[in-house]
Chains A and B, each alone.
Chain A
Amino acid sequence: MTDQSALARPAAQTPPQVNWFSRKIHKSETFRAYAVLSPALLFLGFAILIPFAILVVLSFWTPVGFDFNREFTLKNYRDIMERPIYGTLLWRSLWISTMATVFTVLLCYPMAYYVAFHVHRNKMVWIVLMTLPFWTSYLLRVFAWKVVLGYEGVINSGLIWVGWIEEPLKFLLYSPSAVIITLAHAWAAFAILPLYVSLEKIDKSLLEAATDLGDGPMRRFFRITLPLSLPGVISASILIFIPTTGDYITPALLGGPNGMMIGNLIQMQFGPTNNWPMGAALAIVLMLTIAAICAAFILITFFVRKRIT
């Protein structure tokens, strides 16, 4: 792959002359494809791979004042294993984002189902309505939840105003549940789209057949619709789980001390604590953990699907 893109790179800049190279390029579709892809691919390659490589190198260093001790050491990783604060925050991040993922998928499934099966006109309007907030500022959507859940926020002051409660409910803001609610709300579009796509693809005649053969609505759903929409459920889960695990804004604004997540810890290493190598190591550990969990999840669902189909 890489050698082809490397070959295609000079080709993109050479004017089309009759030489060996351009003949080669006109003949091979792969060469042409990589030539056309090269601007985006080179940029993303440079902007993603090199910083990651540096991050990996940095994670094996240690800070010395404002500089680094460039001697290779596993100290940062050892610290992450040994000091409970890191493990605790990593576990909490995984737990919070698992909860957010489960809630989001469960709540979005009926919605995607409704649009896929029961909306017949203006489906696009529904899809736009469901995904529109997702395009706008994540920061402001989280801020809106702070306004809603705050100690003197919409819910508390509203309930006091109508006389249902005397004291503000303290558990609303600055808690893991506030983070879970906000994450589930903010990432809904990421669940709706894959769920909708997989439900929309289901051949309606299969459902007719199940009905004709005597399945009731419940059996039909669990034997046909749900198994066939599993790919959507899986991609929705992954699409929400990965970004929410490393989220920074939501726990920073709504988490409080008990809702702090690994993203906040990483930011602290690059900010106030000024221990960049530790921050780099935490970022690497976070990525590896996410990758391992996703791989395990995909494998498990793969075997489960094999057994039920």
Chain B
Amino acid sequence: MSTDSYINRPNRPLQVYALIFLIVLYLPILFLPLFSFNDSIYVRFPMQGFTVQWYYDLMARSAVWAALMNSVKVGVAVSIVSTVLGIFAAKAITRYRFFGKEPIVIFIMLPLVVPLIIFGVALLVLFAQLLGVPLSLYTVAFGHLILCIPFSTAVLMPRFEGFDPAIEEASADLGENAWWTFWRVTFPMILPGVVASLLLCFTVSFDEFIMAFFLTGTDATLPMYIWGQLRFPQQFPSVLALSSLVIIGSFIIVLLGLWINRDADMTKTKAGTDA
């Protein structure tokens, strides 16, 4: 009777749990857009009626636009550079067997785990003490690169694993050099991963706060601007409006990236275990 796999038997309590889990995961974030339309400077129930004035208020501020442009500039630059470096790293890790692979992979993935405050202060000391470089958007981008290279590498690794190296070898056998083999064979195969890496790294950099907190000069990025506004209770509604826009924008970009890259199962690649 119970020879029919119990695994396929639906588990009601677990289903309910999963549903509650997802609701709890998203509910706090959804309060931001909800209250951004609330016609009151206080974030509390009962809500006072619908308004879009906080959004209008936001559009009129030049500081918001300046911060947005700064974040976009840093995000675009960081996503491009980290994706290029990530392509090299992912290719080396997935295509070659080499001495010291596992420690190297761990080293590359380290920034995903080490508290970012440590990178923030370490880079601050590097720029301010050793190099004497004034803090600017460049220093912020430098910090974000540390964080984004592991992301790019992790996103691109399954793409390299997903196609047969024999295709590249065939191209080489047919007389293409390494440069053209890359552009005509490898690149089209990993293109979804490249686009996903660009989009995801852009979001990570766009939303990153801690590194920017230590490495920003006079030009604030958008998270820095939001942080500055959090001190003023009367700014709460406009911060809610701005936060809602940022979160919705991030969700769309990330979903797009994951959808484009949907046939690469990132959970199947575990950094370092294939060595």
Contacts and interface: CB of A to CB of B under 8 A. Distances in A.
B50 to A, nearest CB: 18
A55 B110 CA distance: 17
Interface in B247-262: 247, 250-251, 254-255, 258, 262
Interface in B140-182: 142, 145-146, 149, 153, 178
Chain B interface size band reads: 35 or more
Nearest to A137: B207
Interface stretch (A36-44, A77-85, A297-305): A36-44
B61 interface: no
A276 B84 CA distance: 35
Contact of B35 (A40, A147, A196, A263): A147
Contacts of B223: 137, 139
A154 B24 CA distance: 14
A208 B8 CA distance: 12
Given A143-B32, A157-B45, A196 B267 contact: yes
Interface in B59-98: 84-86, 88-89, 91-93, 95-98
B91 A36 contact: yes
A150 B254 CA distance: 29
A238 to B, nearest CB: 8
Contacts of A248: 115, 117, 210, 213
Nearest to B129: A54
A48 B111 contact: yes
B119 interface: yes
A136 B258 contact: no
Nearest to A111: B21
Q: Is the interface of A mostly helix, strand, loop or mixed?
A: helix
Contact of B100 (A1, A217, A280): A1
B83 to A, nearest CB: 11
Given A154-B45, A211-B2, A137 B250 contact: yes
Given A37-B89, A114-B14, A143-B230, A276 B125 contact: yes
Interface string B9-42: 0110011011001101110110110010000001
A30 B254 contact: no
Nearest to A51: B122
A120 B7 CA distance: 10
Nearest to A204: B7
B255 A132 contact: yes
B38 to A, nearest CB: 11
A133 B45 CA distance: 25
Interface of A: 1, 4, 16, 29-30, 32-34, 36-41, 43-44, 47-48, 50-52, 54-55, 58, 107, 110-111, 113-115, 117-118, 120, 124, 127-130, 132-133, 135-141, 143-145, 147-148, 150, 152-154, 156-158, 160-161, 185, 188, 193, 196-197, 200, 204, 207-208, 211, 217, 238-239, 242-243, 245-249, 253, 263, 266-267, 270, 276, 279-280, 283, 286-287
List the 3 shortest-distance A-B pairs measured between CB atoms, nearest first.
Answer: A246-B115, A157-B44, A51-B122
27 contacts: A29-B98, A32-B96, A33-B92, A36-B92, A40-B88, A41-B107, A43-B149, A44-B111, A50-B130, A55-B121, A110-B18, A111-B17, A118-B7, A118-B15, A124-B262, A124-B265, A135-B204, A136-B246, A137-B246, A138-B209, A140-B29, A140-B207, A140-B246, A153-B44, A243-B115, A249-B210, A283-B117
Given A37-B89, A136-B254, A248-B213, 19 more contacts: A30-B99, A32-B98, A33-B96, A37-B93, A43-B149, A47-B145, A50-B130, A114-B11, A118-B15, A132-B254, A140-B207, A147-B43, A157-B44, A185-B25, A196-B267, A243-B115, A248-B210, A283-B118, A286-B115
